[in-house]
Each structure stands twice: as C-alpha cells, then as structure tokens.
A = this chain, B = another copy of it.
Amino acid sequence: MSITIKDIASTLGISPSTVSRALNGHPDISEKTRKSVKDLAKKMNYQVNQMASGLRTKRSFTIGVLVPKIASHFFSSALSGIQEVAVANNYQVLICQTNESQNQERKYVKSLLSAKVDGFLISLAKGQKTITHIKAIVDNKVPLVFFDRISDSFNVPKIEAEDFKGAHRAVTHLIDTGCRKIVHLAGPDNLTASYNRMQGYKQALKDKNIPIDEKLIIPCDFDPENAKKAIHRLMGQNGDIDGIFTVNDELGVEAILTLKSMNIKVPDQVSVVGFGDFPICRIVEPNLTSIRHNPYQIGLEAAQCLFSQINHKNIDGGSRRVIPSELVVRDSSKTK
C-alpha cells in the first residue's frame, strides 16, 4: 500500500540497509547514493513507518499529556506551550482529558504505556488518593513531569505556578487597599495549587496581623454555583465583608456577578481579586484584578524539562520550578 524502504531499495537496485542509512545520514554512505536515495524518497513521497522504526529503536516520538480538562483557559494554553516544544523536538502529542476522574486517568496511563510513549506530562485529577498508576510509569522508567496539579509522593520534576506567592500578593493588595474582612473562595485542598493559594492567603493575613477566620474560607471545588451560594450566605450574615480572593478567575467573575445581582457595589463595598488572569477578567464589569501566571510558559517549561530527560541531558529528580506571577490591578479593587 504505502511506500517502504524496500520499494526504494529495489527500484534503485540497492539494499534496504543502504537506503535506511542514506535517509538517516549515516556517514558510511557515499554522497552519490545518498542523493539518489533522498531524491527518489521525495519523488515517491516516502514516509518512514513510525511503528516499525519505533519497534526497533524503542522510541515512539510521542509523548502523552494528561489534563483534567481541555476546555479551560489554563490547560488549553498550557497545551499550546507543550505542543510548541514537542514540534521543535519532532515529537507528537497524545492528549488525554481525565475529566477529573481518577479512573479515567488510570485507564489513560495504561493505554499510553501500551502505546510506548517516550514521556508523560501530567496534571493530576483532583481527589488523588491511590496513585498506583503513576507508580507504574516510574517503575517502567518512563520520564515523567508533573505540572500545576502535582503530587509530592514521587521524586519527579514538577512545574508549578507561583501559587503561594501569587495568592500572598493578591491578598496583600486587598489589605493594602483597605480591606480587613477578606473571604477566600477556595479550591479543593487536596490539590497543591489550591492548597498553596490558601496558604498564601493565610500568610498574607498573618503578615499584616489580621486574624484568620476559618469561617471566611469556603471550599468551592472550582464550581461557580458554590461560589454564588457562599456569597449569598456570607453577605447575609456578615455585613462587614470588604474583600474576596478567589482561587481562580472563574470564581472571581462569578463573585462579581453575584455581588452585582445583590446590589453590592464592586469595588466600593467589596473588592474582588481572582487568580489566573484569564481573558474574562477584561470582559466582566468591573474588570477583575487578578494574578497573571502564564499557563503557556508552564506548559512550555514542563515540556522542556521532559525532553531534557528524554534526551538524557540530565535527570534532575524531584526538582521544582515555579513560574513567576504578577499582580494585574484592574477595576474590581481600589483603595477604600
């Protein structure tokens, strides 16, 4: 059906091994044969069969990426960064969406191991308890890098957003602009990213000598519906809340919309700061102050780190890279 190395060999009257070496730039091959082989290959529109080549060389030129959700600003941007690096390395990317399900994640890992991917980039599904499937990757000595949703149970490189510092920065900004009673709409705290943002929130309060009120920390599990309910409840009982810091911009936007629907003025009565600097920050009215944390860069560096392992450049064990973030002040927060 499709052209093979043998077809080229036989039409040229030479052996397949010579063709292979010619195409791969082996120095043993004379300039003359190399040229004729390459010319014919191009003319016949030859493409190596990656399965055959991979079987022999034990390299699939494919990496597997696991993300909880493709349709999100953070992950689709990170995927762009990953793709960029993969292309530069002549690699392909198998993208799998776990839908936050551990079971799905386990299946994908199995199937990617079977596909003999040369490496894994994983952002874990939330609610991780049993992570034996991750162990299978490590046991098979397949390179692995965690990004964003990481686990400390494994000695592999990790690329993270600047969650603690970013959150700290956000909350310090709220305090500096006069907020004293600050709510945190939090994520699932078994995710390091959410956990670290919460810690950043707490530390910022401590640093300014504001007591931490656990009742003001509301786990919302990334669901805007929960954010809405929490705000309705809190604003009813606590008239003096003057700031909200949300674990991501989706909840931040929801917070603004909910407050507006309750006729509470943002930022005059309540300031809101999100996390992520998603495009929606500039759409919501008032524009949402947020922490920019470059998901594209996170994907890019995660992929670079993976390829440095794949290419045996260096195997840095549980190294940890934190991608810097910055505060972007917009209209949802202002000095009171």
Contacts and interface: CB of A to CB of B under 8 A. Distances in A.
A73 B45 CA distance: 36
Tell which of A60, A62, A95, A112 has the most Cβ of chain B within 10 Å: A95
A301 to B, nearest CB: 17
Going nearest first, the 5 A-B pairs with the smallest beta carbon separation are A71-B76, A47-B114, A285-B285, A95-B95, A51-B55
Interface of A: 1-2, 45, 47-52, 54-55, 58, 60-62, 70-73, 76-77, 79-80, 83, 87, 90, 92-97, 104, 107, 110-116, 136, 140-141, 253, 257, 279-280, 283-285
A55 B49 contact: yes
B80 A71 contact: yes
Given A49-B55, A61-B115, A79-B97, 15 more contacts: A1-B140, A50-B116, A51-B55, A51-B115, A52-B55, A62-B94, A70-B83, A71-B79, A71-B80, A87-B104, A92-B115, A257-B283, A280-B283, A283-B283, A285-B285
Contacts of A283: 253, 257, 280, 283-284
A80 B70 CA distance: 7
B77 A71 contact: yes
Contacts of A70: 70, 76, 79-80, 83
A272 B257 CA distance: 21
Tell which of A2, A51, A93 has the most Cβ of chain B within 10 Å: A51
A248 to B, nearest CB: 14
Given A76-B71, A111-B92, A140 B54 contact: no
A47 to B, nearest CB: 4
Nearest to A91: B111
B115 A50 contact: yes
Contacts of A257: 283
A116 B107 CA distance: 23
